[in-house]
Chain A
């Protein structure tokens, strides 16, 4: 049984194959329009999500498959106290593949351990979000033409921002990738990323507080939102949320080829005036998210 719980569940070779398939889907979506006929995706979303859930559902529908599930914890049996393991055992009888988002870290791993069908982690708390990473990798590879020899700035909430953790873990496997970690002191990357991933793999990185300091050196700027739901204390959230705002003035400090990515939703960390800048790639990134999820569903169902 194949599951995708962490971006590292795919080897570099498997990842290349998956991204090639996604690019082929982008070129000729019609070729895949009936590939999942008769298959069902269980979309198990224990916390609110618009983009990821709709992206998974659109991906399955684009492949000719069907979708069932729930979109918030309140409409699942979790309110009756059902465990994640029991839920997935039951869902295994109804669907061929499942995408699960849960506020608790490690929930998707627990689901995969009990499941009879492939499980895709669609985000587990502040921990991992592998399909966002696959989206990011596809966007970078498609728009920059490579995944190696890059200097990447990660900006915002690097402590609770799971997309950032997953992206770092995936990119350290490529040659000559350098990171500039841009965050306030309180939102720096957690120890398991700094020690367990960056230092362990001898990856070059530096931590800075000012975005302006990093911008001239970047091939890619990955902005993130400071997420209210990750804070226990409202005051901390309010203090942090406007720390970084990317606007036209700051964009002038960046090189002509620097891409701006964002996992979305954006609140105010990227001014809307930046949207028309040709370096803004975040809406294109959302489109790549559908292609890569289509490729992942096909691969996990052995239909590729």
Chain B
């Protein structure tokens, strides 16, 4: 390849990448635009439109977002911790132990990949009621904690780890839990990262089940708080809903901006496959 054509090639690629990036960032850009301008400029893009913070004040007043945000954070952490713990143990059992019923049980686990807890809301609500957990954050988390997807994914990863490593550790006197902790979990780090990302982004956005199973400000996540603005009788107030969206997604967005280097690098070092 000669220099000139390579230059053109690079230039074309850069342009295309930027074009796509601009399209992708459009919803966020629009959210920023409307959030900082009066409602009258929701559909008019005038460079000299007056700036305002009133939408944030309105959104902030409409719902206790600080609390909702904390709830979401607790919820996501709780789910993730539970999922990592339960799925690791189960995946380890499937990957490295021989026991009767293994295949049947594995099939049962896979079944959960398909039976999304959202479908079973009425039944699950009954269970929560029985456990006296209605209107608590654990009630939102529990149905999702044992994840078929997580077990499956970790099992696949664990199975790719050479048995020799396992045996070497055992010779050194490690118990099977020690082996899991010292050999399997460190080697499966990328899978945890990938799965963690899937899980967090899913539960960060989950709406219907939390709405049904919670009643109070102390337990409700951000998505339920946002839904107050989706009421359509009086028309959508884009400026306020977008201010609320920015407030609630802001921390995640800023965290990503600050840490994106480290984030991608840790992915890379781990190298998910």
A and B held together in a complex: no
